[in-house]
Structure 1
Amino acid sequence: MTGFNDQVISEFRQNKGKLGGMFEGWRLILLTTTGAKSGERRTNPLGYLEIDGKTVVVASNMGAPRHPGWYHNIRHDHRVTIETGTESYEAIAAIPPAAERDTLFAKVVAEDPGFAEYQAKTTRELPVVILHRIDDRVRGMGHFLVEVHEWLREELKTVRAGVEDLVAGRADSLTLEKSLRAHCVSFCEALTKHHTGEDMGAFPMLAQRFPALAPVLAKLGEDHVVVATSQKRIRELVEGYVHGESDPIRLRDDFDELAGKLEAHFAYEERTVVTALNVTAHG
């Protein structure tokens, strides 16, 4: 099959996506994935459908008892390259949850009954995969997450400035302490709400659709626990601060430790899940 695939791929690229012989009239794309074991790039010609504005492929393997290799690959790395014959673009491959998969497969069969025949040949459920084009112009949940992070970063700066004022003994200490407590409460509540929303909503949704993100999401969840512990200590220090008795330098050092952990967490999250969140919102 490797030699046959290579021949099809070569003809596809030479003729801008048009093929003759047994594939004449077929709608094909070239899907390039990263090998789950080898780490090497693998290209497969695949039939595809456009359903509800989505590019959809089915891991049918012509009804064979095992999933095709490319499907195993996207479960380990959802980043793929698509060639249509006239263009090449980067995409990410999403695996829809059960109910959505069933609805999509019914639409697939309505357009191409051959997939029902493939399903009838095997006891495995044929996976349906949505290929989301990565488009930086599209604004979605990922961009919203970055905007929330930016707001939290600004709030963090405000609280940090108030802590520095306490250390330096600037202005009226009672007014400063009251203002610092208010900002700290606002920041801590917003951060807790943000992380709870991710743990309960965004992360489980991403885990379903992008199995390759499992280690990333596990790390982000662990970060939330670490940040919550630091955040609790900071809030206790701020709310229990007494001018002339409490140590402002300890407060500043603890706060800087939290800020460092939080910025590392935000940066990692933005590198790893923003694109998946954006395409999911528009898919």
Structure 2
Amino acid sequence: MTGFNDQVIEEFRQNKGKLGGMFEGWELILLTTIGAKSGKRRTNPLGYLEIDGKMVVVASSMGSPRHPGWYHNIRHSERVTIETGTETYEAIAAVPPAPERDALFAKVVAAEPGFAEYQAKTTRVLPVVTVHRIDDRVRGMGDFLVEVHDWLRGELKTLRAGVGEIVAGRADSLTMENSLHAHCVSFCEALTKHHTGEDMGAFPMLAQRFPSLAPALAKLGEDHVVVATLQRQIRELVEGYVHGESDPRRLRDDFETLAGKLEAHFAYEEETVVAALNVTAPAPQFG
């Protein structure tokens, strides 16, 4: 099969996606994944369908008892490359949860009855995979997450500035301490709400659709526990500061340490989940 696939791939690329022989008239793509064990790029020619505006591929292997290698690969790494013959682009492959998979498979069978025959030949449930082009989308949930993070970063910046004013003695201490306290409360409440939403909604949804993200999502969940401790420490630092008694430089140094850890968490979260969130759901609209 490797030699056969290589011939198909070569013909596909030479003829801009057009194939003859047994594949004449077929809608094919080249799907390149990262090998789950080898870490090497693996390319497979696949038939696909357009359903509800989405590119859909089925891990049928013509009804064989085992999932094809490319399917195992996307469960290990969701980032893929798609070649259509006329263009090449980066995409994310998602595995819909069971009810959505069943609805999609019914539409697949309605369009291409042969997939029902493949399903009848095997006891395994044929996986249905949706492929989402990364650079072709509306403002997504990942963009919204970055916007929330940027607001939180802005609040941290305000808190930093307030601590700096206290250390420098450039402002009325009581007024500045009250303002600092108000910003701290606002920041901590918003951060708690944000992380609760991720733990209860966004992360479980991503774990279902992108199995490769499960370890990183578990780590982010653990990080949220650590962050909850950090924000409590930040609040205690600010609320516990007493002008004339507490050391303002220690307040500044401790605050910088905690804020740095929070910003590192934001950066890791964005690196890990933004792309997957963007192709999963549009950003919420307010107003």
TM range (shorter): over 0.9
TM-score, normalised with respect to structure 1: 0.96
Name the SS of the counterpart of 2:263 in structure 1. Answer: helix
- Identify unmatched segments of 5+ residues in structure 1: none
Question: How far off its partner does 1:190 sit?
Answer: 0.8
Counterpart in the other structure of 1:261: 261
Deviates more, 1:22-31 or 1:62-71: 22-31
**SS of match in other structure, 1:81:** strand
**Residue segments in structure 2 that go unaligned for 5+ positions in a row:** 283-287
SS of the residue aligned with 2:129? strand
Matched residues in 2 for 1:145 and 1:11: separation? 43
**Is the 1:227–1:258 Cα contact (8 Å) retained in structure 2?**
no
Q: Which runs of 4+ in 1 moved over 6 A?
A: none
Residue 137 of structure 1 and its aligned partner are, at CA, apart by 6.1
192-201 vs 169-178, which moves further: 169-178
Match of 1:185 in 2: 185
Q: Aligned residue for 1:227?
A: 227
Partner of 1:89: 89
Aligned-pair distance for 1:138?
3.3
The residue aligned with 2:138 is 138
| Greater mean deviation of Cα atoms: 8-17 or 71-80 | 8-17
After superposition, give the CA deviation of every residue in 1:26-65 in whole Å (9 maximum; x if it has no partner).
1111111111011111111111000000000000011111
Task: Work out the CA distance in 1 between the residues paired with 2:145 and 2:136.
Answer: 15
Deviations 1:2-48 (A, max 9, x none): 11111111111111111111111111111111110111111111110
State the shift of 1:222 in Å.
Answer: 2.0
State whether residues 81 and 91 of structure 2, in contact with CA within 8 Å, keep that contact through their aligned partners in structure 1.
yes
- After superposition, residues 37-48 of structure 1 pair within 5 angstroms as 37-48=37-48
Q: Alpha-carbon deviation of 1:249?
A: 2.4
- Aligned counterpart, 1:13: 13
- Aligned partner of 2:24 in structure 1 is 24
State the alpha-carbon separation in 1 of the partners of residues 234 and 46 from structure 2. Answer: 55
Whether contact under 8 Å (1:234, 1:251) holds in the other structure is no
Separation in 2 of the partners of 1:137 and 1:125? 30
Provide the C-alpha distance between the structure 1 equivalents of 2:245 and 2:138, rounded to a whole number of angstroms. Answer: 53
Give the partner amino acid of 1:21: G
Q: Could you tell me the TM-score, scaled by structure 2's length?
A: 0.95
How far the C-alpha of 1:248 sits from its partner, in A, is 2.2
Give, in whole Å, the separation in 2 of the partners of 1:138 and 1:43.
Answer: 28
SS at match of 1:16: coil
Q: Which amino acid aligns with 1:230?
A: L
String of CA shifts for 1:246-279, please: whole Å, max 9, x gaps. 2322222221111111111111122221111111
Paired residue type of 2:6 = D
Q: Residue 218 of structure 2 corresponds to which residue in structure 1?
A: 218
Distance 2:68 2:134 in 1: 24
> 1:136 offset after TM fit, Å?
6.4
Report how far residue 170 of structure 1 moved: 2.5
Change in 2 beyond 3 A, CA 1:156/1:136:
farther
Q: What is residue 63 of structure 2 aligned with on the other side?
A: 63
Aligned to 1:2: 2
Measured after TM superposition, the shift of residue 217 of structure 1 is 1.2
Indicate the residue corresponding to 2:124 in structure 1: 124
In 1: Cα distance, 2:263 partner to 2:273 partner:
16
Q: CA contact under 8 A between 2:237 and 2:255: conserved in structure 1?
A: no
